[in-house]
Every structure is written in structure tokens, then in C-alpha cells.
Amino acid sequence: MEIPEALVRHLYGYDRTLPLLATCEPEPAIDLETRTPRTDIVRERVTFGSTHDERVLATIVKPSGAGPFPAVIVQHGSTPSGRHRNVTATPDNPNPVAVEWAASGLMTVVVDAYGFGSREAPDNRGRLTPGRPDLMFRTRDQRMQAVQDLMRTVDYLQSRDDVRADAIGYHGVSMGTRIGVPFVALDRRVKAASLFVGGSGDYSRFVTAGTDFADLAADEELINLLTDPYTFAPWTGHVAKYVVNGEQDRTVRGREPAERLHSVMADPKEIHWYDGDHGDYAPYLPGALAFLKANLG
């Protein structure tokens, strides 16, 4: 089964004149060790309108000063805490990636994906639940909404005077790669991306055989074609990519799903492997930062 590229792009399209109706308010930026305000970075809580009458909530962390700055959209994985793991300092994570990267000179925009964090819904839509085919259509909608939300994040960034409109990048982890590959494929305004611990395989599909949903096997295949990064990876030739995967990744289920995605991903790309599980990628974050800064200029 194949779906024409033009149809896929049409289904993810939206009215670019859709009003943002953005809000922005300051948040304290605190040094966790000294419990004093930081002067090198600024934090903001922002919201803006997206498709289907959704509103995106994000935390911005940026260097002190007027800018304009290169900006990197940061998308979390499948976690109930949503954006906070990447932006909220805790004793076990005193330098979250968005804060550390902002201190180095980038604006970071950390988004709550639809169905996660402040936007969590009363079910498991969007999560890796192969045994829940009853959620397949809600998960389809979640994945497509999440991609459109990222496009709207670019719209929002380009409305700000402190952002370099020609220097927008992306950093996604796990689910952030699952929705990030479609996003960077469809939105040519993104110049560079780091894509961590993603893949394409059965781990992210629904099992219908032998269930009450066996009649939806064709729908399940269509949903996979419409949302899986494998479909979109060949369309990413306009964006430089830094790709990281773990040799022992039990979530992605080893090398094969990652290699499957790598095999169709357009150049330019750098592929890096580490000997560890799904969450053991931290040693490659400095490399991702250097890559993004080099390609955003």
C-alpha cells in the first residue's frame, strides 16, 4: 500500500493565516544550587493557537539580551511530565538541556505535545501501546496534531523580534523523533535537527490480529503510513540531521528499527551509535548542541 506524497502533505496542511493569539509572561530563572536568580538567561511561559482550536503551551529559555537568537524547538518523549524534563531543574537533573543550551547562546522553546504534560488527555493516546488498538484513531490524531503544533511553533517564533527567522532548529528525543521527522520533512523553515533514539518498527504499531479490532487491520496500516517517520525521512534532504541511537535500546527493540529509519533518511545526516539503552544518550547532547550551532550559524 502506498500513499501519494501530495496527499500526505495535504493532510498535514493548515491555514497559515490562522491567528496565533499569543500570550507571554515571565517566569523566574533560578540557580538550583544557590537559590538565587540567574542573570545569564531569561524564562518565559508562552501560549499560542494551533489547528483544531488547540492551544500550545511552551517554556522559552533564552540568553539575556535583545537578540535576535538562533532558536531550537525541543520536543520531549512519551512522558507524563511533558516539557518539564527538558526545562525544569531538579536535584537529579540540575542542568536540563533547554537551560544549558540557552546559557550557550540559543533560544530554546520547549513544547508540551498534544496529549502530554499540561495537555494530557484521559487516555493513553500517542503512547507506545501496541496492545491497545482501541486507541489507534486517537493516536493517529495525536501524532498529526503534534506535527502541526510544531509547525505552529515555527509560525510563533517567526513572529518574534528576538528570533532569527533563518536559524530555526529542532531537537527531539524518542517520541520527539517520531513526530520530529515528519515535522522537519514538511516544514522547510527548519534548518537543522538532532533526532535521538527513534526508529521505525512494530514497537510503535498496533496489534489487531486475534483481537476485537481485527477488522481494522487495513486502517492500522494506513495510520502507520500516514504517521511513521519512515514515510517522511526521504523528504528531509533540506535539513542537516544529527541522529543518535542506542545499541541496546529496549524501547525501540534494538538496532533493526533504527537502521530501518536510517536507511531511508535523506542526506545530509550524521549517524551516531552508543552502547546503551533508550535513556543513555546524555554523552551525545554536547555533540548535538555543537551540530545545531554550526548549522544554524
* CATH code, domain with 233: 3.40.50.1820
Split at pLDDT 50, 70, 90, the class of 177 is: very high
Segments forming the whole domain that contains residue 103 = 5-296
Type and span of the H or E element at 219: helix 217-227
Cα three-residue angle 42-170-45, rounded to 5 degrees: 30
CB atoms inside a 10 Å sphere around CB 130: 12
Supply the pLDDT for residue 126: 76
For residue 210, what is its C-alpha cell? 486475534
For residue 18, what is its C-alpha cell? 490562522
Supply the pLDDT for residue 79: 82
- What is the average pLDDT score of the chain? 95
Supply the pLDDT for residue 185: 99
- How does pLDDT run across 15-33, given as a tens digit for each residue? 989 999 999 999 999 888 8
What is the spatial distance between Cα 129 and Cα 21, in angstroms, rounded to a whole number? 35
- How does pLDDT run across 228-275, given as a tens digit for each residue? 999 999 999 999 999 999 999 999 999 999 999 999 999 999 999 999
Evaluate if residue 116 carries a pLDDT over 90: no
Evaluate if residue 85 carries a pLDDT over 90: no
Mean of the pLDDT values across residues 90-119? 91
Supply the pLDDT for residue 200: 97
* Stronger pLDDT, 127 or 63, i.e. the higher one: 63
Q: How many domains does the chain have?
A: 1
Supply the pLDDT for residue 91: 82
Residues 6+ positions from 57 with CB-CB distance below 8 Å = 45, 46, 47, 83, 111, 112, 117, 118, 119
Lowest-pLDDT range of 129-143, 158-172, 190-204 = 129-143
Specify the pTM. 0.95
* CB 208 within 8 Å of CB 289: no
